[in-house]
DNA sequence: CGCGCGATTGATTCGGCTCAATAACTGTGG
DNA sequence: CCACAGTTATTGAGCCGAATCAATCGCGCG
């Protein structure tokens, strides 16, 4: 399933410009290049498991990933997504704690593994990169706080509406306005924090209300302002 | 209400050894000392407001603080607490975003304000301090993820039980095992993400079940293992 | 062509919220 | 030091959002 591939070179990697690595010097780039290893993952493969230790980070060169925790009834909670240019595993690495979440691919994905020593070297020697990491972490922390408040206070209907808008923003749309990620109803439920059936019913409501169009796992938002109103977003 | 006080010197501040500043050099300490300003806050005062910009961080030299967001029905959601030795405001500062939460004192509190320039200097010049910040942020991020999963999946009874255990761990107990923080029923509800009445009913249940003892705002956990079981915690 | 998983729909249940009324408590000023 | 006003806590009743349970459907694939 997982197989080593011809390593994509960072300097030709289309994902780099969007990543925390965008401002590395040529020397640093080739240093990273030399230390990393790249692998291909099929759809649905687990990259790492919650609770384990990790000794580096993964950079997504192509593909999409979900990060999730398993609650004690065995139910999955999706915490965040990663796509081209994003890194995963840095939280556990930097906190020196076990992984707080598992990661699995949502489609065919290419990942580069960058060892801890390499990351620490960049942090220590490149203030700009270091600051990018601080910024990334603190941004994520702010996002997490927002999610906490919404989970605690908003009804499912509003949360689902917002989730759709966030998915659209995160993964963008193709020429037909279809959100570029394919999730099962259950996975959507596991983002929103609700039951699969509730997602199904509400999606069908949104459809009736002409807010979205759905075809299998393809979702298109046809009335963004109205859906935003349903989501009850002000900020 | 807020009045400038004789600045506590960092090198005699009892809170320092527990803080991210614990390993600064004497020179760095006196540098921080020179740049900071200290203030006293009465109980219930707001330190900063969600949405504003901040130009430094606050270090708690004495007292207790709640950080919270206001949801769009005007309901408060408590995101975290800060006590002696903790810093607040660093998330917004480092992400260069507006404050994601407001902060208010839970009791009489002394705070030192450390300007942004000073913090950035420490980050740039003291790798050890820098690493402490990275570690702090990534630890917080892990905690936030845990909260998300629990909010999404656990019933109120379990969340309240866990909240009590966390409060005990965070604020410790006095010689009578009473948790050292005084919160209103409403504030507890705003941590758990539930209605005030639900907290009242469940606290009274826990009392009947001999898990806790309650007297006004004083809470004592009398059976930690049993309450832990109620909280349904495994990890 | 049938198996099996994911999606859908309906019926029912229930946790937890809201609303309302009362009680206890806190601080304040006379 | 007490009475009053304004919170905060408590308790009860009723309702509703959303979960669960059950059955069926649809399809992708071997």
Residue-wise pLDDT tens digits, A154-195 = 999 999 999 999 999 999 999 999 999 999 999 999 999 999
pLDDT given for residue A15 in this prediction: 82
Q: Is a pLDDT exceeding 70 seen at residue A153? A: yes
Mean pLDDT of A2-13: 68
Q: With an 8 Å Cβ cutoff, is A215 touching chain B?
A: no
Domain coordinates of chain A in residue numbers?
Answer: 3-151, 154-230
Quote the distance between the C-alpha of residue B101 and its chain's center: 12
Question: Which residue in chain B is spatially nearest to A74 when comparing CA positions?
Answer: B153
CA nearest to B166, candidates B148, B186, B143, B145: B143
Please tell me the distance in Å from B179's CA to the nearest CA on chain A: 24
In this structure, are residues A68 and A81 in contact, taking their beta carbons and an 8 Å threshold?
Answer: no
Q: Which two tokens stand for residue A100?
A: 């707080």
User: Which CATH number is associated with domain A3-151?
Assistant: 2.60.120.10
Mean pLDDT of A205-233: 96
pLDDT given for residue A185 in this prediction: 97
Distance CA B123, CA A175 (A): 44
Give average pLDDT by consecutive 10-residue segment, chain B, 235 residues: 61 82 89 92 94 97 96 94 97 98 95 97 96 98 98 98 98 95 97 98 97 96 97 83
Distance CA B219, CA B126 (A): 42
- The contacts of residue A183 (CB under 8 Å, 6+ apart) are A106, A167, A191, A217
Q: Is a pLDDT exceeding 60 seen at residue A220? A: yes
Q: Which CATH architecture has domain B154-230?
A: Orthogonal Bundle (1.10)
Distance CA B69, CA B33 (A): 31
* Side-chain-side CA neighbours of residue B116 (13 Å): 10
Over pLDDT 90: what percentage of chain A?
87
Please tell me the distance in Å from A203's CA to the nearest CA on chain B: 19
At A185, phi and psi to the nearest 5? Answer: -60, -35
Question: Which residue in chain A is spatially nearest to B192 when comparing CA positions?
Answer: A152
pLDDT given for residue A11 in this prediction: 80
Distance CA A33, CA A176 (A): 37
Q: At what angle do helices B185-192 and B156-171 cross, to 10 degrees?
A: 110
Residue with tokens 């004497």: B26
Q: Please, which residues 175-214 of chain A have a Cβ atom closer than 8 Å to chain B?
A: 193
Longest Cα–Cα distance in chain B:
56
pLDDT given for residue B11 in this prediction: 80
Q: Is a pLDDT exceeding 70 seen at residue A87? A: yes
Q: Which residues of A155-193 are buried (b: 16+ CB within 10 A; e: fewer)?
A: ebbbbbbbbbbebbebbeeeeeebbebbbeeebbbbbbb
Q: What does chain A come to in residues?
A: 235
3-state secondary structure of B94: helix
Distance CA A210, CA A221 (A): 9
Cα distances (angstroms) measured from residue B202 to each of A168, A224, B177, B194, B228: 40, 41, 20, 11, 15
- Mutation target for A interface from B151, B152, B195: give the one with most A CBs within 10 A: B152
Question: Which residue in chain A is spatially nearest to B97 when comparing CA positions?
Answer: A139
3-state secondary structure of B209: coil
**Measured at the alpha carbon of residue A202, what is the angle toward residues A197 and A207, in degrees to the nearest 5?**
130
In this prediction, residue A17 has a pLDDT band, given cuts at 50, 70 and 90, of: confident
Q: Which two tokens stand for residue A10?
A: 């960072």
Q: Which residues touch strand C (CB under 7 A)?
A: A 184-186, 196-197, 200-201, 203-204, 214, 217; B 155-157, 193-195, 197-198, 216
Q: With an 8 Å Cβ cutoff, is A52 touching chain B?
A: no
Tell me how crowded residue B184 is: count the other CB atoms within 10 A of its CB. Answer: 12
B152 by Cβ neighbours in 10 Å (0-12 / 13-18 / 19+) ranks as buried
Q: What does chain B come to in residues?
A: 235
**Measured at the alpha carbon of residue B148, what is the angle toward residues B142 and B150, in degrees to the nearest 5?**
105
Q: Which residues share a beta bridge with A103? A: A48, A67
pLDDT given for residue B6 in this prediction: 57
Residues A91-107 pLDDT 10s: 999 999 999 999 999 99
Distance CA A158, CA A202 (A): 10
């Amino acid at each position: 399933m997982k197989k080593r591939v011809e390593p994509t070179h960072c300097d030709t990697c289309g994902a780099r410009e969007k990543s925390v690595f965008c401002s590395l010097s040529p020397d640093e780039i080739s240093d990273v290049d030399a230390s990393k290893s790249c692998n291909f993952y099929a759809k649905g493969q687990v990259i790492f498991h919650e609770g384990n230790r990790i000794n580096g980070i993964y950079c997504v060169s192509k593909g999409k990933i979900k990060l999730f925790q398993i609650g004690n009834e065995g139910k999955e909670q999706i915490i965040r997504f990663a796509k081209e240019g994003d890194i995963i595993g840095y939280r556990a690495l930097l906190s020196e704690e076990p992984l707080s979440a598992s990661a699995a691919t949502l489609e065919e994905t290419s990942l580069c593994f960058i060892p801890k020593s390499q990351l620490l070297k960049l942090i220590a020697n490149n203030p700009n990169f270091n600051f990018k990491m601080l910024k990334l972490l603190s941004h994520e922390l702010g996002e997490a706080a927002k999610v906490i408040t919404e989970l605690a206070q908003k009804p499912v209907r509003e949360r689902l509406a917002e989730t759709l808008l966030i998915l659209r923003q995160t993964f963008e749309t193709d020429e037909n306005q279809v959100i570029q990620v394919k999730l099962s109803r259950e996975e959507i439920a596991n983002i929103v924090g609700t039951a699969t059936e509730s997602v199904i019913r509400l999606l069908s409501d949104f459809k009736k209300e002409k807010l979205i169009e759905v075809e299998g796992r393809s979702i298109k938002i046809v009335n963004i302002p109205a859906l935003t109103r349903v989501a009850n977003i002000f900020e």
